[in-house]
Structure 1
Amino acid sequence: MSAQMKRVMDLSEWEHRWENGRIGFHHLHVHKMLESNIDKILCGRKGVRVFFPLCGKAVDMKWLADMGHSVVGVEISEKAIKQFFEDQNLSYSEELVPDIPGAKVFKSTDGKISLYECDLFKFSSAIAGRFGGIWDRGALVAINPCDRQRYAAIILSLLDKDCRYLLDTLQYNPELYKGPPFFVPDEDVKKLYGKTCDIQLLDSADAFAAKHREWGLDYLIEKVHLLTPKDPVLL
Protein backbone atom coordinates (compact mmCIF):
# COMPACT_ATOMS: atom_id res chain seq x y z
CA MET A 1 0.00 0.00 0.00
CA SER A 2 2.95 2.34 0.69
CA ALA A 3 3.74 2.55 -3.04
CA GLN A 4 0.19 3.66 -3.81
CA MET A 5 0.18 6.22 -1.00
CA LYS A 6 2.87 8.11 -2.91
CA ARG A 7 0.95 7.98 -6.19
CA VAL A 8 -0.54 11.37 -7.05
CA MET A 9 -2.49 12.26 -10.18
CA ASP A 10 -3.37 15.88 -10.85
CA LEU A 11 -6.60 16.95 -12.49
CA SER A 12 -4.95 17.61 -15.84
CA GLU A 13 -4.04 13.92 -16.11
CA TRP A 14 -7.72 12.97 -15.83
CA GLU A 15 -8.65 15.59 -18.41
CA HIS A 16 -6.00 14.18 -20.77
CA ARG A 17 -7.45 10.70 -20.35
CA TRP A 18 -10.82 11.96 -21.53
CA GLU A 19 -9.28 13.95 -24.38
CA ASN A 20 -7.33 10.89 -25.54
CA GLY A 21 -10.21 8.44 -25.08
CA ARG A 22 -8.43 6.49 -22.35
CA ILE A 23 -11.67 5.77 -20.50
CA GLY A 24 -11.63 2.04 -19.89
CA PHE A 25 -13.34 2.79 -16.57
CA HIS A 26 -16.52 3.89 -18.38
CA HIS A 27 -19.37 1.35 -18.52
CA LEU A 28 -21.69 1.25 -21.51
CA HIS A 29 -24.54 -0.16 -19.42
CA VAL A 30 -26.02 0.51 -15.99
CA HIS A 31 -23.71 -0.95 -13.37
CA LYS A 32 -24.97 -4.35 -12.25
CA MET A 33 -24.26 -3.68 -8.58
CA LEU A 34 -26.22 -0.44 -8.70
CA GLU A 35 -29.09 -2.15 -10.49
CA SER A 36 -29.26 -5.03 -8.00
CA ASN A 37 -29.01 -2.74 -4.96
CA ILE A 38 -31.00 0.30 -6.09
CA ASP A 39 -33.76 -0.47 -3.60
CA LYS A 40 -31.19 0.03 -0.81
CA ILE A 41 -30.72 3.62 -1.96
CA LEU A 42 -34.32 4.46 -2.72
CA CYS A 43 -36.05 2.67 0.18
CA GLY A 44 -39.38 3.23 -1.55
CA ARG A 45 -38.81 6.97 -1.83
CA LYS A 46 -39.77 8.98 -4.89
CA GLY A 47 -37.96 11.97 -6.31
CA VAL A 48 -34.66 11.24 -4.53
CA ARG A 49 -31.78 13.64 -5.18
CA VAL A 50 -28.78 11.45 -6.03
CA PHE A 51 -25.17 12.64 -6.09
CA PHE A 52 -22.54 11.23 -8.47
CA PRO A 53 -18.99 12.22 -7.45
CA LEU A 54 -16.54 12.15 -10.38
CA CYS A 55 -19.46 11.19 -12.59
CA GLY A 56 -17.80 11.03 -15.99
CA LYS A 57 -20.55 10.23 -18.48
CA ALA A 58 -22.10 7.41 -16.46
CA VAL A 59 -25.24 6.04 -18.09
CA ASP A 60 -26.50 5.34 -14.55
CA MET A 61 -27.42 9.01 -14.28
CA LYS A 62 -29.91 8.86 -17.15
CA TRP A 63 -31.31 5.59 -15.77
CA LEU A 64 -32.11 7.20 -12.41
CA ALA A 65 -33.48 10.36 -14.00
CA ASP A 66 -35.81 8.24 -16.14
CA MET A 67 -37.10 6.68 -12.91
CA GLY A 68 -38.18 10.12 -11.72
CA HIS A 69 -35.20 11.01 -9.54
CA SER A 70 -32.90 14.01 -9.92
CA VAL A 71 -29.16 13.74 -10.40
CA VAL A 72 -26.26 16.04 -9.56
CA GLY A 73 -22.77 15.12 -10.70
CA VAL A 74 -19.31 16.63 -10.42
CA GLU A 75 -16.69 16.05 -13.12
CA ILE A 76 -13.48 17.85 -14.07
CA SER A 77 -13.73 17.04 -17.80
CA GLU A 78 -16.01 19.22 -19.89
CA LYS A 79 -15.66 16.70 -22.70
CA ALA A 80 -17.07 13.95 -20.48
CA ILE A 81 -20.05 16.06 -19.50
CA LYS A 82 -20.88 17.11 -23.06
CA GLN A 83 -20.48 13.55 -24.26
CA PHE A 84 -22.97 12.42 -21.63
CA PHE A 85 -25.68 14.75 -22.91
CA GLU A 86 -24.88 13.91 -26.53
CA ASP A 87 -24.80 10.15 -25.93
CA GLN A 88 -28.15 10.30 -24.12
CA ASN A 89 -29.72 12.64 -26.69
CA LEU A 90 -30.49 15.23 -24.04
CA SER A 91 -30.69 18.95 -24.69
CA TYR A 92 -29.00 21.09 -22.05
CA SER A 93 -28.06 24.57 -20.98
CA GLU A 94 -24.72 25.82 -19.74
CA GLU A 95 -24.02 28.50 -17.15
CA LEU A 96 -21.30 29.72 -14.83
CA VAL A 97 -21.24 28.83 -11.13
CA PRO A 98 -20.72 32.14 -9.28
CA ASP A 99 -19.43 30.53 -6.07
CA ILE A 100 -16.72 28.49 -7.83
CA PRO A 101 -14.43 30.59 -10.05
CA GLY A 102 -14.09 29.05 -13.49
CA ALA A 103 -16.73 26.38 -12.88
CA LYS A 104 -19.74 25.67 -15.07
CA VAL A 105 -22.94 23.72 -14.58
CA PHE A 106 -24.64 21.88 -17.43
CA LYS A 107 -28.35 21.27 -16.89
CA SER A 108 -30.71 19.05 -18.86
CA THR A 109 -33.67 20.94 -20.26
CA ASP A 110 -36.07 18.95 -18.08
CA GLY A 111 -34.11 19.96 -14.98
CA LYS A 112 -33.51 16.41 -13.77
CA ILE A 113 -29.74 16.31 -14.34
CA SER A 114 -27.18 18.95 -13.33
CA LEU A 115 -23.49 18.28 -13.92
CA TYR A 116 -20.86 20.57 -12.47
CA GLU A 117 -17.56 20.98 -14.26
CA CYS A 118 -15.21 21.69 -11.38
CA ASP A 119 -12.73 20.34 -8.86
CA LEU A 120 -14.68 18.17 -6.43
CA PHE A 121 -12.80 19.69 -3.51
CA LYS A 122 -14.31 23.08 -4.36
CA PHE A 123 -17.85 21.68 -4.34
CA SER A 124 -20.07 21.94 -1.25
CA SER A 125 -23.62 21.72 0.06
CA ALA A 126 -23.77 25.52 -0.31
CA ILE A 127 -23.63 24.98 -4.07
CA ALA A 128 -26.25 22.26 -4.51
CA GLY A 129 -27.67 21.30 -1.12
CA ARG A 130 -27.57 17.83 0.45
CA PHE A 131 -28.56 14.51 -1.00
CA GLY A 132 -30.82 11.57 -0.24
CA GLY A 133 -28.62 9.17 -2.20
CA ILE A 134 -25.05 8.83 -3.42
CA TRP A 135 -23.64 6.39 -5.97
CA ASP A 136 -19.87 6.32 -5.59
CA ARG A 137 -18.51 4.15 -8.38
CA GLY A 138 -15.06 5.07 -9.65
CA ALA A 139 -14.74 8.05 -7.29
CA LEU A 140 -13.12 6.98 -4.01
CA VAL A 141 -10.99 4.51 -5.97
CA ALA A 142 -9.81 7.35 -8.25
CA ILE A 143 -9.01 9.89 -5.54
CA ASN A 144 -5.31 10.08 -4.67
CA PRO A 145 -4.87 7.91 -1.54
CA CYS A 146 -3.31 10.86 0.30
CA ASP A 147 -6.53 12.84 -0.29
CA ARG A 148 -9.02 10.28 1.04
CA GLN A 149 -9.66 12.08 4.33
CA ARG A 150 -10.44 15.31 2.46
CA TYR A 151 -12.69 13.39 0.07
CA ALA A 152 -14.60 11.69 2.88
CA ALA A 153 -15.12 15.05 4.61
CA ILE A 154 -16.66 16.49 1.43
CA ILE A 155 -18.94 13.48 0.96
CA LEU A 156 -20.09 13.49 4.59
CA SER A 157 -20.96 17.18 4.31
CA LEU A 158 -23.31 16.32 1.43
CA LEU A 159 -25.31 13.63 3.24
CA ASP A 160 -28.89 14.45 4.15
CA LYS A 161 -30.15 12.85 7.35
CA ASP A 162 -31.93 10.10 5.40
CA CYS A 163 -29.14 9.62 2.85
CA ARG A 164 -28.25 6.17 1.54
CA TYR A 165 -24.67 6.11 0.27
CA LEU A 166 -23.70 3.22 -2.01
CA LEU A 167 -19.90 2.89 -2.14
CA ASP A 168 -18.11 0.74 -4.72
CA THR A 169 -14.52 -0.31 -3.93
CA LEU A 170 -11.84 -2.55 -5.45
CA GLN A 171 -9.48 -4.93 -3.72
CA TYR A 172 -6.34 -6.42 -5.22
CA ASN A 173 -2.62 -6.73 -4.43
CA PRO A 174 -1.44 -3.08 -4.42
CA GLU A 175 2.18 -4.17 -4.73
CA LEU A 176 1.45 -5.34 -8.28
CA TYR A 177 -0.26 -2.22 -9.65
CA LYS A 178 0.21 1.46 -8.82
CA GLY A 179 -3.32 2.56 -9.77
CA PRO A 180 -5.67 4.18 -10.50
CA PRO A 181 -8.10 2.70 -9.74
CA PHE A 182 -6.62 2.41 -6.28
CA PHE A 183 -6.89 -0.39 -3.78
CA VAL A 184 -9.36 0.50 -1.00
CA PRO A 185 -9.46 -2.05 1.85
CA ASP A 186 -12.50 -2.43 4.10
CA GLU A 187 -10.38 -1.05 6.95
CA ASP A 188 -10.04 2.26 5.11
CA VAL A 189 -13.79 2.47 4.56
CA LYS A 190 -14.26 2.04 8.33
CA LYS A 191 -11.59 4.62 9.16
CA LEU A 192 -13.08 7.17 6.79
CA TYR A 193 -16.76 6.71 7.58
CA GLY A 194 -17.17 4.47 10.62
CA LYS A 195 -17.57 7.25 13.19
CA THR A 196 -20.48 8.91 11.40
CA CYS A 197 -22.06 6.11 9.37
CA ASP A 198 -23.27 2.56 9.81
CA ILE A 199 -21.54 0.40 7.20
CA GLN A 200 -23.00 -2.74 5.65
CA LEU A 201 -21.39 -4.92 2.99
CA LEU A 202 -24.07 -5.57 0.37
CA ASP A 203 -22.22 -7.27 -2.43
CA SER A 204 -18.85 -8.78 -3.29
CA ALA A 205 -17.90 -10.24 -6.66
CA ASP A 206 -14.96 -11.45 -8.70
CA ALA A 207 -14.36 -8.62 -11.18
CA PHE A 208 -11.14 -9.96 -12.69
CA ALA A 209 -10.91 -9.63 -16.50
CA ALA A 210 -8.23 -9.95 -19.18
CA LYS A 211 -7.29 -6.26 -18.94
CA HIS A 212 -6.48 -6.69 -15.27
CA ARG A 213 -3.94 -9.36 -16.13
CA GLU A 214 -2.29 -6.74 -18.35
CA TRP A 215 -2.07 -4.50 -15.27
CA GLY A 216 -0.07 -7.25 -13.60
CA LEU A 217 -2.87 -8.37 -11.28
CA ASP A 218 -3.87 -11.93 -10.48
CA TYR A 219 -7.20 -11.15 -8.83
CA LEU A 220 -9.66 -8.27 -8.43
CA ILE A 221 -12.60 -8.16 -6.03
CA GLU A 222 -15.32 -5.53 -6.34
CA LYS A 223 -17.36 -4.67 -3.27
CA VAL A 224 -20.37 -2.49 -2.59
CA HIS A 225 -21.08 -1.10 0.87
CA LEU A 226 -24.17 0.74 2.08
CA LEU A 227 -23.45 3.68 4.38
CA THR A 228 -26.18 5.39 6.40
CA PRO A 229 -25.77 8.31 8.83
CA LYS A 230 -25.74 7.28 12.49
CA ASP A 231 -26.73 10.65 13.88
CA PRO A 232 -27.78 13.72 11.88
CA VAL A 233 -26.18 15.94 14.53
CA LEU A 234 -22.75 14.58 13.60
CA LEU A 235 -23.18 15.71 10.02
Structure 2
Amino acid sequence: MTDSKSHDLKTQENRVMAVDEWVDRWKEGKIGFHQDQVHKLLKKHLDAILDGRKKIRWFFPLCGKAVDMKWLADMGHTIVGVDVSEIATKEFFTDQNLPYTEEPVPAIPGAKAFKSSDGKISLYNCDLYDFCSSIAGKFDGIWDRGSLVAINPSDRQRYATLIVSLMTKDCRYLLDTLLYNPSLYEGPPFYVPDDAVADLFGEMCNIQMLESVDALTERQKAWGIDYFTEKVHLLTLTS
Protein backbone atom coordinates (compact mmCIF):
# COMPACT_ATOMS: atom_id res chain seq x y z
CA MET A 1 0.00 0.00 0.00
CA THR A 2 1.08 3.55 -0.57
CA ASP A 3 -0.16 6.83 0.78
CA SER A 4 -3.09 7.83 -1.39
CA LYS A 5 -2.36 11.52 -1.03
CA SER A 6 0.55 13.03 -2.95
CA HIS A 7 2.34 15.84 -1.15
CA ASP A 8 5.12 18.36 -1.64
CA LEU A 9 7.95 17.15 0.57
CA LYS A 10 10.22 20.18 0.24
CA THR A 11 9.07 21.60 3.58
CA GLN A 12 10.61 18.65 5.39
CA GLU A 13 13.35 17.15 3.26
CA ASN A 14 16.03 19.58 4.50
CA ARG A 15 14.72 19.93 8.04
CA VAL A 16 17.44 19.20 10.59
CA MET A 17 17.03 18.79 14.33
CA ALA A 18 20.34 18.94 16.17
CA VAL A 19 20.93 16.46 18.99
CA ASP A 20 21.10 19.37 21.44
CA GLU A 21 17.58 20.41 20.45
CA TRP A 22 16.24 17.06 21.62
CA VAL A 23 18.20 17.33 24.85
CA ASP A 24 16.72 20.80 25.38
CA ARG A 25 13.19 19.54 24.83
CA TRP A 26 13.63 17.17 27.75
CA LYS A 27 15.19 19.89 29.88
CA GLU A 28 12.27 22.20 29.14
CA GLY A 29 9.62 19.51 29.52
CA LYS A 30 8.51 19.88 25.90
CA ILE A 31 7.74 16.19 25.55
CA GLY A 32 4.29 16.05 24.04
CA PHE A 33 5.45 12.96 22.17
CA HIS A 34 5.68 10.98 25.42
CA GLN A 35 2.74 8.74 26.28
CA ASP A 36 1.84 7.80 29.85
CA GLN A 37 0.11 4.60 28.78
CA VAL A 38 1.40 1.56 26.92
CA HIS A 39 0.85 2.18 23.23
CA LYS A 40 -2.40 0.59 22.13
CA LEU A 41 -1.00 -0.58 18.80
CA LEU A 42 1.90 -2.32 20.53
CA LYS A 43 -0.58 -4.09 22.79
CA LYS A 44 -2.75 -5.06 19.86
CA HIS A 45 0.07 -6.42 17.72
CA LEU A 46 2.33 -7.85 20.41
CA ASP A 47 1.59 -11.42 19.35
CA ALA A 48 2.72 -10.57 15.80
CA ILE A 49 6.13 -9.64 17.19
CA LEU A 50 6.45 -12.46 19.68
CA ASP A 51 5.30 -15.11 17.20
CA GLY A 52 5.02 -17.63 20.02
CA ARG A 53 8.36 -16.69 21.59
CA LYS A 54 8.84 -15.81 25.25
CA LYS A 55 11.47 -13.73 27.04
CA ILE A 56 13.00 -12.19 23.95
CA ARG A 57 15.47 -9.30 23.68
CA TRP A 58 13.86 -6.01 22.64
CA PHE A 59 15.43 -2.87 21.22
CA PHE A 60 13.89 0.58 21.67
CA PRO A 61 15.55 3.22 19.45
CA LEU A 62 15.19 6.78 20.80
CA CYS A 63 13.40 5.28 23.77
CA GLY A 64 12.85 8.38 25.91
CA LYS A 65 11.08 7.15 29.05
CA ALA A 66 8.57 4.93 27.26
CA VAL A 67 6.40 3.04 29.74
CA ASP A 68 6.23 0.25 27.15
CA MET A 69 9.70 -0.84 28.29
CA LYS A 70 8.58 -1.61 31.85
CA TRP A 71 5.44 -3.33 30.57
CA LEU A 72 7.49 -5.73 28.45
CA ALA A 73 10.14 -6.26 31.14
CA ASP A 74 7.38 -7.29 33.56
CA MET A 75 6.52 -10.09 31.10
CA GLY A 76 10.05 -11.42 31.38
CA HIS A 77 11.55 -9.79 28.30
CA THR A 78 14.95 -8.06 28.27
CA ILE A 79 14.99 -4.44 27.13
CA VAL A 80 17.75 -2.30 25.62
CA GLY A 81 17.04 1.32 24.76
CA VAL A 82 19.07 4.22 23.40
CA ASP A 83 18.39 7.89 23.93
CA VAL A 84 20.51 11.01 23.95
CA SER A 85 18.75 12.49 26.99
CA GLU A 86 20.03 11.52 30.42
CA ILE A 87 17.03 13.32 31.89
CA ALA A 88 14.68 10.97 30.04
CA THR A 89 16.59 7.91 31.23
CA LYS A 90 16.68 8.93 34.88
CA GLU A 91 13.01 9.91 34.79
CA PHE A 92 12.17 6.47 33.42
CA PHE A 93 13.75 4.69 36.38
CA THR A 94 12.29 7.18 38.85
CA ASP A 95 8.80 7.05 37.34
CA GLN A 96 8.84 3.24 37.31
CA ASN A 97 10.34 3.04 40.82
CA LEU A 98 13.22 0.92 39.59
CA PRO A 99 16.62 0.91 41.29
CA TYR A 100 19.48 1.14 38.80
CA THR A 101 23.21 1.39 38.37
CA GLU A 102 25.14 3.78 36.17
CA GLU A 103 28.35 2.96 34.33
CA PRO A 104 30.46 4.28 31.46
CA VAL A 105 30.38 2.63 28.03
CA PRO A 106 34.05 2.10 27.12
CA ALA A 107 33.36 1.76 23.40
CA ILE A 108 31.54 5.12 23.20
CA PRO A 109 33.40 8.09 24.71
CA GLY A 110 31.12 10.06 27.02
CA ALA A 111 28.30 7.54 26.89
CA LYS A 112 26.64 6.04 29.96
CA ALA A 113 24.64 2.89 30.53
CA PHE A 114 21.86 2.85 33.11
CA LYS A 115 20.83 -0.66 34.10
CA SER A 116 17.99 -1.83 36.30
CA SER A 117 19.16 -3.80 39.30
CA ASP A 118 17.32 -6.91 38.07
CA GLY A 119 19.22 -6.74 34.79
CA LYS A 120 16.11 -6.63 32.61
CA ILE A 121 16.42 -3.05 31.35
CA SER A 122 19.56 -1.35 30.02
CA LEU A 123 19.33 2.19 28.68
CA TYR A 124 22.25 3.77 26.86
CA ASN A 125 22.72 7.53 26.80
CA CYS A 126 24.51 8.29 23.55
CA ASP A 127 24.00 9.34 19.96
CA LEU A 128 21.99 6.57 18.34
CA TYR A 129 24.48 6.33 15.48
CA ASP A 130 27.30 5.59 17.92
CA PHE A 131 25.44 2.47 19.05
CA CYS A 132 26.07 -0.90 17.36
CA SER A 133 25.65 -4.61 17.87
CA SER A 134 29.10 -4.92 19.49
CA ILE A 135 27.79 -2.80 22.40
CA ALA A 136 24.77 -4.90 23.38
CA GLY A 137 24.28 -7.65 20.82
CA LYS A 138 21.40 -8.12 18.40
CA PHE A 139 17.67 -8.20 19.08
CA ASP A 140 14.68 -10.47 18.57
CA GLY A 141 12.12 -7.66 18.63
CA ILE A 142 12.18 -3.93 17.89
CA TRP A 143 9.48 -1.40 18.75
CA ASP A 144 9.96 1.77 16.74
CA ARG A 145 7.41 4.27 17.95
CA GLY A 146 8.51 7.86 17.49
CA SER A 147 12.00 7.02 16.24
CA LEU A 148 12.01 6.81 12.44
CA VAL A 149 9.49 9.67 12.43
CA ALA A 150 11.81 11.74 14.67
CA ILE A 151 15.16 11.43 12.95
CA ASN A 152 16.17 13.94 10.30
CA PRO A 153 14.89 12.89 6.86
CA SER A 154 18.44 13.12 5.49
CA ASP A 155 19.57 10.46 8.00
CA ARG A 156 16.99 7.82 7.15
CA GLN A 157 19.20 5.52 5.10
CA ARG A 158 21.86 5.60 7.80
CA TYR A 159 19.15 4.79 10.33
CA ALA A 160 17.75 1.88 8.32
CA THR A 161 21.23 0.39 7.92
CA LEU A 162 21.78 0.59 11.68
CA ILE A 163 18.43 -0.97 12.56
CA VAL A 164 18.91 -3.88 10.17
CA SER A 165 22.39 -4.48 11.61
CA LEU A 166 20.79 -4.91 15.05
CA MET A 167 18.28 -7.55 13.93
CA THR A 168 18.76 -11.25 14.60
CA LYS A 169 17.76 -13.47 11.68
CA ASP A 170 14.38 -14.08 13.37
CA CYS A 171 13.85 -10.50 14.53
CA ARG A 172 10.39 -9.02 14.15
CA TYR A 173 10.43 -5.23 13.86
CA LEU A 174 7.25 -3.26 14.55
CA LEU A 175 7.49 0.14 12.88
CA ASP A 176 5.07 3.00 13.58
CA THR A 177 4.77 5.70 10.90
CA LEU A 178 2.72 8.85 10.47
CA LEU A 179 0.95 10.34 7.47
CA TYR A 180 -0.25 13.94 7.16
CA ASN A 181 0.23 16.89 4.82
CA PRO A 182 3.91 17.84 5.28
CA SER A 183 3.47 21.15 3.49
CA LEU A 184 1.41 22.29 6.49
CA TYR A 185 3.81 21.24 9.26
CA GLU A 186 7.61 21.00 9.19
CA GLY A 187 7.96 18.26 11.84
CA PRO A 188 9.08 16.46 13.83
CA PRO A 189 7.39 14.05 13.91
CA PHE A 190 8.01 13.73 10.20
CA TYR A 191 5.80 12.43 7.45
CA VAL A 192 6.92 8.91 6.45
CA PRO A 193 4.82 7.46 3.61
CA ASP A 194 4.71 3.78 2.75
CA ASP A 195 6.95 4.21 -0.29
CA ALA A 196 9.65 5.70 1.96
CA VAL A 197 9.48 2.60 4.18
CA ALA A 198 9.78 0.42 1.07
CA ASP A 199 12.74 2.44 -0.24
CA LEU A 200 14.55 2.19 3.10
CA PHE A 201 13.90 -1.42 4.02
CA GLY A 202 12.48 -3.18 0.96
CA GLU A 203 15.74 -4.72 -0.25
CA MET A 204 16.53 -6.19 3.17
CA CYS A 205 13.13 -6.88 4.71
CA ASN A 206 9.69 -8.22 4.07
CA ILE A 207 7.22 -5.46 4.94
CA GLN A 208 3.66 -6.12 6.07
CA MET A 209 1.32 -3.25 6.88
CA LEU A 210 -0.69 -4.44 9.89
CA GLU A 211 -3.00 -1.52 10.58
CA SER A 212 -3.85 2.06 9.66
CA VAL A 213 -5.76 4.24 12.13
CA ASP A 214 -7.02 7.81 12.31
CA ALA A 215 -4.91 9.37 15.07
CA LEU A 216 -5.89 13.03 14.72
CA THR A 217 -6.25 14.77 18.09
CA GLU A 218 -6.42 18.38 19.21
CA ARG A 219 -2.63 18.36 19.55
CA GLN A 220 -2.16 17.65 15.85
CA LYS A 221 -4.95 20.02 14.83
CA ALA A 222 -2.98 22.76 16.59
CA TRP A 223 -0.12 22.11 14.14
CA GLY A 224 -2.48 23.19 11.38
CA ILE A 225 -2.92 19.78 9.75
CA ASP A 226 -6.25 18.34 8.65
CA TYR A 227 -5.57 14.61 8.87
CA PHE A 228 -3.16 12.42 10.81
CA THR A 229 -2.89 8.70 10.09
CA GLU A 230 -0.84 6.26 12.14
CA LYS A 231 0.34 3.02 10.58
CA VAL A 232 2.10 -0.01 11.98
CA HIS A 233 4.24 -2.24 9.80
CA LEU A 234 5.86 -5.59 10.61
CA LEU A 235 9.32 -6.05 9.12
CA THR A 236 11.29 -9.28 8.98
CA LEU A 237 14.63 -10.00 7.30
CA THR A 238 14.42 -11.58 3.87
CA SER A 239 17.41 -13.81 4.53
Q: TM-score range by the shorter chain?
A: over 0.9
The answer for the alignment partner of 2:126 in structure 1 is 118
CA distance in 1, matches of 2:85, 2:176: 21
Q: Which amino acid aligns with 1:128?
A: A
1:40 correspondence with 2:48:
yes
1:102 aligns with 2:132: no
User: Tell me, what secondary structure is at the counterpart of 1:30?
Assistant: coil
Establish whether residue 56 from structure 1 lines up as the match of residue 64 from structure 2: yes
Asked whether 1:169 is paired with 2:177, we answer yes
Does 1:134 pair with 2:150?
A: no
Residue 77 (str. 1) matches residue 85 (str. 2): yes
Structure 1 match to 2:234:
226
- Distance apart, 1:2 and its partner CA: 1.4
In the alignment, which residue of structure 2 is the partner of 1:12?
A: 20
Residues 33-66 of structure 1: CA distance to partner in whole angstroms, max 9, x if unpaired?
A: 0000000111111110000000000000000000
Q: For residue 194 of structure 2, what is the aligned residue in structure 1?
A: 186
The superposition leaves residues 130-188 of structure 1 with CA deviations (integer Å, 9 ceiling, x where unpaired) of 00000000000000000000000100100000000000000000000000000000000
Corresponding residue number in structure 1 for 2:10: 2
TM-score normalised to the size of structure 1? 0.98
Deviations 1:206-228 (A, max 9, x none): 00011111101000000000000
Task: Note if 1:22 corresponds to 2:27.
Answer: no
Aligned equivalents of 2:139, 2:168: Cα separation in 1:
5
TM-score (normalised: structure 2): 0.96
RMSD: 0.4
Instruction: Indicate which of 68, 74, 77 corresponds to 2:76.
Output: 68
Rounded to whole Å, the distance in 2 between the matches of 1:45 and 1:147 is 32
Amino acid at match of 1:178: E
Q: How many residues align?
A: 231
CA distance in 2, matches of 1:44, 1:86: 32
Write the distance in 2 (CA, Å) between the matches of 1:212 and 1:80. 23
- Unaligned runs of at least 5 residues, structure 1: none
Q: Aligned partners of 2:157, 2:201: CA distance in 1, in Å?
A: 9
Q: Which amino acid aligns with 2:112?
A: K
Name the % identity: 65
Q: Secondary structure at the match of 2:190?
A: coil
Runs of 4+ in 1 over 2 A off after TM superposition: none
Question: Which residue number in structure 2 is paired with residue 144 of structure 1?
Answer: 152
Aligned residue for 2:5? none
Distance 1:166 1:58 in 2: 15
> 2: CA distance between counterparts of 1:83 and 1:226?
30
Distance in 2 between the 1:217 and 1:3 partners? 14
